[in-house]
């Protein structure tokens, strides 16, 4: 019994030492892990690469880039190049500074536009805009078929007279009872559209030249127009259905509504910024418009 007690007494200091060492190692491990920013995926020289850096880098690369690991490796390689460029002082070079400033300026400008204009193109805003502008979005449409005698815009008087005469003959043949499609097919012989169909289908206001739509929309069902001229030639048109007014669905005009809303909001933003952010211009500091060119108009980079 005394021997056992003496052995235990002899090991007591060693156990205390081992416990102290184990505790220090544990605390060190915990401290090391706790101090590292979990958002950092790698450190390259003095640069810490974060998840957001990786996401931005990946978004600019082909979707076929295979693994997250390869993306990290590629980002590390580019960062090494950038680190070395800074080490060599290339970031202080005037042309490099200008390009860095241009990239920063463009990124900030786009970020501001995205931040300020997001509400202008929200679903709720666009639907409200749609409801408020239904009347102005409505368009007339009509189903027609036509014959065209093509005429160049710069045609002389004699050519125009011959084209009008030909259109009048075609019109007279249809009025006289000949089939519209047959006359149209014969009229197209020798043109690129030999396999011609006279039926244009349903055309909407804004899809064709205004003078063409105006003449077509004035027709009753089955009515035939007299020959009339547009910048594309001389036409004979027949209405296959009465003109009607249709309102587009929200989905049909959503893109246009968003573009208009964004343009208006951006114009308001720019107008506001013009009043709040002063600008001073220094024309005397601008390079001459012919800087960098010789008198013969050939660009030159050396001294004269």
Crossing angle of helices 250-276 and 123-132, in 10° steps, is 110
* pTM beyond cutoff 0.85: no
| Contact between residue 296 and residue 155 where contact means Cβ atoms under 8 Å apart | no
Of 200, 225, 246, which one is at a domain's C-terminal end? Answer: 246
In a domain, 218, yes or no: yes
Q: Do 186 and 125 share a structural domain?
A: no
CATH code, domain with 228: 3.10.50.40
Range of the structural domain that residue 47 is part of: 40-92
Is residue 198 domain-shared with residue 263, that is, in the same domain? no
Q: Clarify whether residues 51 and 128 are in a common domain.
A: no
Total number of domains in the chain: 4
Do 60 and 151 sit in the same domain of this protein? Answer: no
CB 235 within 8 A of CB 227: yes
Is residue 212 domain-shared with residue 239, that is, in the same domain? yes
234 occurs within a structural domain: yes
Q: Do 128 and 147 reside in the same domain of the chain?
A: no
Residue 103 lies in a domain: no
Q: Are residues 46 and 77 in the same domain?
A: yes
Q: Which residue has the tokens 């007014």?
A: 245
Residue 301 located in a structural domain:
no
256 shares its domain with 241? no
144 and 234, same domain (yes or no): yes
Query: Do 144 and 241 lie in a common domain?
Result: yes
DSSP 261-289: HHHHHHHHHHHHHHHHS-----GGGSPPT
Q: Do the domain assignments include residue 16?
A: yes
Residues 127 and 264 in one domain: yes
Per-residue model confidence as pLDDT tens for the chain (304 residues): 444 444 445 444 445 444 443 443 344 444 444 567 888 989 999 899 898 988 888 888 765 555 667 888 999 999 999 999 999 999 999 999 999 999 999 999 999 999 999 999 999 999 999 999 888 888 899 999 999 998 888 899 999 999 999 999 999 999 999 999 999 888 876 554 333 458 899 999 888 999 999 999 999 999 999 999 999 999 999 999 999 999 889 999 999 999 999 999 999 999 999 999 999 999 998 888 765 555 444 444 444 4
Could you tell me if residue 288 is inside a domain? Answer: no
């Amino acid at each position: 019994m005394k021997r056992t007690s003496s052995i235990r007494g002899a090991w007591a200091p060693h156990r205390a030492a081992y416990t102290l060492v184990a505790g220090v190692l544990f605390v060190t491990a915990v401290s090391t892990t706790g101090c590292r920013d979990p958002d950092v995926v790698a450190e390259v020289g003095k640069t810490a690469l974060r998840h957001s850096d990786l996401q931005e880098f990946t978004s600019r690369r082909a979707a076929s880039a295979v693994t997250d690991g390869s993306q990290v490796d590629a980002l590390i390689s580019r960062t090494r190049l950038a680190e070395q460029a800074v080490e060599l002082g290339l970031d202080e070079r005037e042309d490099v500074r200008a390009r860095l400033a241009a990239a920063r300026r463009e990124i900030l400008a786009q970020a501001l536009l995205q931040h300020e204009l997001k509400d202008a193109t929200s679903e709720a805003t666009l639907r409200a805009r749609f409801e408020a502008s239904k009347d102005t979005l409505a368009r007339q449409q009509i189903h027609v078929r036509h014959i065209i005698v093509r005429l160049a815009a710069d045609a002389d008087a004699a050519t125009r007279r011959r084209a009008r005469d030909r259109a009048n003959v075609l019109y007279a043949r249809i009025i006289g009872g000949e089939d519209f499609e047959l006359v149209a097919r014969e009229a197209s012989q020798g043109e690129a559209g030999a396999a011609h169909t006279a039926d244009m289908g349903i055309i909407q206001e804004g899809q064709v030249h205004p003078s063409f739509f105006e003449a077509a929309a004035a027709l009753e069902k089955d009515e035939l127009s007299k020959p009339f001229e547009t910048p594309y030639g001389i036409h004979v048109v027949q209405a296959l259905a009465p003109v009607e007014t249709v309102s587009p669905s929200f989905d049909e005009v959503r893109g246009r509504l968003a573009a208009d809303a964004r343009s208006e909001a951006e114009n308001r933003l720019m107008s506001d910024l013009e009043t709040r952010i002063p600008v001073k211009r220094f024309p005397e500091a601008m390079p001459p418009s012919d800087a960098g060119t010789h008198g013969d108009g050939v660009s030159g980079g050396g001294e004269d």
